[in-house]
Amino acid sequence: MDKLSPLTDEECHALLRSRGLGRLGFTSGALPVVLPVNYLDRGDHLLLRTGVGPILEAAWAGQVACLEIDASEPVGHEGWSVLVTGRLHEIADPAQLKAVRALPLLAWARPDARHYVRLSIELLSGRRLGHDRTWPPAGTGVP
């Protein structure tokens, strides 16, 4: 029987660290938008890199936004999803900028984009979907 189970914060962070591509949900021109973004999990925030555009404008506005990651295994109907909710801010401090520029992070749409944005991790939730089997599967690196 299919069931939906909540994930712990530790499981959510392990899944966030195991991935680098998520979908950012925010508002642009009063409309909901979802865009693919690369990210780094920095513990209390996710780091994004972006060019001049709607994500940067949302950061300038200090918007509340969310980032989602998921995986599905259609045949067995198993999967999981993790949702981070927080506030977007552009990193403007020169010392912080110098530090993040050294990190291995490329923007999804424009790899060499020059702006860095933090999504604070205020809310973290995750759920796994699956049958009554052991989860996570062996070898996924998820504790």
Least distance (Å) between residue 65 CB and its own copies: 6
Minimum separation from the CB atom of position 49 to its own copies (A) = 13
Closest to its own copies by CB, 52 vs 99, is 52
Nearest to 85 by CA among 66, 104, 102: 66
The token pair at 20 is 């680098």
Name residues whose C-beta falls within 8 Å of residue 2's C-beta, 6 or more positions apart in sequence.
Answer: 77, 129, 130, 131
Torsion angle defined by CA atoms of residues 74, 71, 29 and 65, in that order, rounded to the nearest 10 degrees: 150
Comparison of 36 and 99: residue with beta carbon closer to its own copies = 36
**94/142 with CB nearer its own copies:** 142
Q: 98 vs 133, which CB is nearer to its own copies?
A: 133
Q: Answer for the pair 71, 114: CB distance below 8 angstroms, yes or no.
A: no
Residues of this chain that interact with its own copies (CB under 8 A) are: 2, 4, 21, 23-27, 31-36, 64-68, 70, 72, 77, 79, 81, 83, 85, 106, 108-111, 123, 127, 129
